[in-house]
Amino acid sequence: MNGEALYLNFSVTITKTPTRKYYASLLFDTKQETPEVVLTGKVIGIDLGLKDFCITHDGEKHLKYNHPRHLKKHQKNLARKLALLARKKKGSISRQKAPQLVARIYERISNARQDFLHKLSRKIVNDNQVVVVENLNIKSMVYNHKLAKAISDVGWGMFVNFLDYKLQQKGSLLIEIDRWFPSSKTCCNCLYQMSEMPLEMREWTSPNCGTHHDRDENVGKNIRAEDIRQLSVLEGLLLFVQRPVGKEGKSEQKVGLIN
């Protein structure tokens, strides 16, 4: 190590969970530089949903990833534990222990959700250089009481965060498309835009070109196409810096994004 410190600004945070487990979170600076963003490579568009967790489109094929429905799998067991808690006499020892039984179920649900999101985000990041998602207003969406539980269960926000930091570590790029971009109402073939597209309409046909669409597949294609348009703008911001190298005065080109 030659007397040099491996880590800087080291700190530890101890947290206790409702199930009485203790975790130590270590925060430190490894002095590693973030890789420079490279725009060349595979581009994939992701449509997040409730029926399927997400549908991806890379310009050639689309893939559907099923929604694991973690909360639904534990719903009956959770209901039993909540009913058991309600029957316990207030102030009794069993009443004090019962909340831990409920907390353990919620912990299993949370762990299963994070495991799924970590594995899927890692797969997508490993296979692609640029990932595009919609900038969803999740806080407003959960006000829909019919969908609030399902939206909270999928973990869209956590998934996008996982994608973001993993892409940064790789020198890749996450692009979030404006939430008002009409990805579901626009035909990916002729760009005809429907005036309305209710949530229950899962398939539709463009009245302009006659192309029949699966709603989610069409969204994935439109998101990817919008990303490519934005990438063309980013590429216009690339800065080419020439600097002399060596005694002979040869030069090299360094490519990077203007901050």
Instruction: Tell me, yes or no, whether 203 lies in a domain.
Output: yes
82, HSE (Cβ side, Cα atoms, 13 Å)? 8
pLDDT at 244: 37
Tokens in use for 30? Answer: 């490894």
Question: Quick one: pLDDT band at residue 250, thresholds 50, 70, 90?
Answer: very low
Given the residues 4, 36, 47, 200, the one annotated as active site: 47
Given the residues 107, 115, 134, 196, the one annotated as active site: 134
Instruction: Tell me, yes or no, whether 199 lies in a domain.
Output: yes
pLDDT tens sequence across 210-232: 889 888 788 878 887 776 776 66
Convert 93-129 to b/e letters by CB count within 10 Å (16 or more is b). eeeeebeebbbbbbebbeeebeebbeebbeebbeebb
Instruction: Tell me, yes or no, whether 2 lies in a domain.
Output: no
Q: In degrees to the nearest 10, what's the CA dihedral of 76, 81, 84, 88?
A: -160
Instruction: Tell me, yes or no, whether 3 lies in a domain.
Output: no
Instruction: Please give the biggest Cα pair distance in the chain.
Output: 87
For residues 203 and 123, give the distance between their C-alpha atoms in angstroms, rounded to a whole number. 28
Beta strand pairing call for 52-57 and 173-177 = unpaired
pLDDT at 233: 53
pLDDT tens sequence across 144-188: 777 778 888 888 889 999 999 999 988 888 888 877 778 888 898
pLDDT tens sequence across 142-155: 777 777 788 888 88
145, HSE (Cβ side, Cα atoms, 13 Å)? 0
> How many domains does the structure of the chain reveal?
1
Question: Quick one: pLDDT band at residue 6, thresholds 50, 70, 90?
Answer: low
Instruction: Tell me, yes or no, whether 1 lies in a domain.
Output: no
Instruction: Tell me, yes or no, whether 123 lies in a domain.
Output: yes
Instruction: Tell me, yes or no, whether 161 lies in a domain.
Output: yes
Decide if 248 is catalytic.
Answer: no
Q: Of the segments 7-11, 85-89, 143-147, which one has the largest average pLDDT value? A: 85-89
Average pLDDT over residues 71-95: 81
Instruction: Tell me, yes or no, whether 48 lies in a domain.
Output: yes
Q: Which domain holds residue 75?
A: 8-257
Average pLDDT over residues 28-43: 76
For residues 117 and 123, give the distance between their C-alpha atoms in angstroms, rounded to a whole number. 10
93-127 and 156-170 helices, crossing angle to 10°: 40
- Indicate yes or no: pTM above 0.75: no
Decide if 178 is catalytic.
Answer: no
First to last CA, the chain: 34
Given the residues 107, 115, 196, 216, the one annotated as active site: 216
Average pLDDT over residues 243-252: 38
Decide if 227 is catalytic.
Answer: no
